[in-house]
Structure 1
Amino acid sequence: MMNKYSVSKSAVKNATARLRLTKTQAQNVLPKYAQGSSFVWSLGSTSGSQAVYDNYNERVRLVIAENGTVLDVFPIDYALQSPHNLSEEVRQSLKDSTKKTLFARRDEIHRKWCEAELAFHKNSYEIAKVRFELIDASVEEAAMLNSRLANLCTDNKRLHEDRSAFRKERTELERALVPYI
């Protein structure tokens, strides 16, 4: 069973820059690279909807969406492509320290995202409780509860924006890690 792969515009653009392919070559060859690739790592921030694959024969690393769209491509040794006057030892050290820094930053953002997620759900629970209390509330109580509900909903919007921003940053950090894994 052969999977059908499509290619995003950004993957074509990156293939022309990183693999020195023409636009047409990239559009034709990237699905073939995807076909011959092996799973490496799932991008956790995308709930498994995006993953990293390596094609060892072609020496390329791909980011592929669950729907079969090739989203990004790198030479397999992309993280080591730096000025040639650096020794292999120095390049490996740079690669390791960059990887370590990216993982630490990703973990820090993941922690912040978890905190924002908890605050959002706690606030959502409070909203549900107030709405439930409104069912049997007197006119005076309803006015007070509606005021509280308005404040909670404003907070919920802010909390939702916070958690979305953290998730987006985490996804970007995971993508930045792709060449280093």
Structure 2
Amino acid sequence: MTEEEFAEFYARSVHRLTGQLYVMTGDFHEAQDVVQEAFIRAWGRRRQLQRDLGPEAWVRIVAWRLAISRWRRVVRGQRAWQRRGDPVSGEGPGPGLVDLERALRRMPLRQRQCAALFYVCDLPVEQIAAETRLATGTVKTHLSRARAKLARELDHHAYTGESRDA
């Protein structure tokens, strides 16, 4: 891929990939950061990006792995602070938090990832399986459970006007 082709690829896909990673991570700024980092890494491999799943899938996979690594680092840091004994302060979610985002955050990570790849990225089950290194049956199971969980969460909120954790 030439420099011009890479620039076109970036312009064509950066917003779509950021939106996809936002749905997967639940954090827009984190999505922006990991997508940018993935594009930086892709720049160094731009000649090999046409192989396998294609350049957009490569960037999405790398961005997802970066997000997971960052998440693990944050969790380890939080645990270290808790062991230290200092009080942890944190604000609750703001009033602008939408029901769908809350429901997505309650999903197990793999379910959320599969649902985002299927519904937001519009990827077929086989490509999701290739990107996540899961069996196609496992992807289908995650999608089925994600749909059921979303339906329960959103129906409960619509009926009662509150979230399940309230």
TM-score by length of 1: 0.25
Q: Which structure dedicates a bigger proportion of its chain to strand?
A: 1
Q: Which structure dedicates a bigger proportion of its chain to helix?
A: 2
Larger Rg computed on CA atoms: 1
